[in-house]
Amino acid sequence: MMFVSPAYAQAAAAGGGSFGALEQFLPLILIFVVFYFLLIRPQQKKMKQHKEMLGQLRRGDRVLTAGGIIGTVNKLINDTEVSVEIAEGVRVRVLRTTITEVMSKTEPVAADKAPATADKAKDDKSDAEPAADK
């Protein structure tokens, strides 16, 4: 005599097949969204700011390299290289991408200020001419 009764498998609940698949992938999707906002997006923002900073480099800027060397930009050689003076008369060529920080910026070129003064002088002359006619 057998005292064990036979066990029958129960039928799976009939649910929406597509919703079940979405339900399974929902945790993975949420993890990706969290990673995007906490890791990927801030890193992209930082890279964009670094690229902007490198694009605005000019002669006379005091910079810090990735190797910890502080120097002054002597010459912008090309799109990828910069000549940096690290001591009096000592110049090294470094890749732009190794510049991690611009410690101090130089003043804009005086040529930018010259047209403004020329325009002002021109305005002064135009104001003075009608007075002479009176």
pLDDT value, residue 83: 95
My answer on whether 44 and 70 are in the same domain is: no
CATH no. for residue 94?
Answer: 2.30.30
* Of residues 52, 55, 59, the one with CA closest to residue 105: 59
End residue of a domain, out of 55, 79, 97:
55
Q: What is the number of structural domains in the chain?
A: 2
- Global pTM exceeds 0.85: no
Domain-located, residue 120:
no
Q: Write out pLDDT tens, residues 18-74.
A: 677 788 889 999 999 999 999 999 999 999 999 999 999 999 999 999 999 999 999
My answer on whether 64 and 101 are in the same domain is: yes
My answer on whether 74 and 101 are in the same domain is: yes
Domain-located, residue 123:
no
My answer on whether 101 and 62 are in the same domain is: yes
Structural domain range at position 74: 58-110
CA-CA distance, 113 to 117, in Å (whole number)? 7
What is the DSSP pairing of strand 62-65 with strand 90-95?
Answer: unpaired
Domain-located, residue 78:
yes
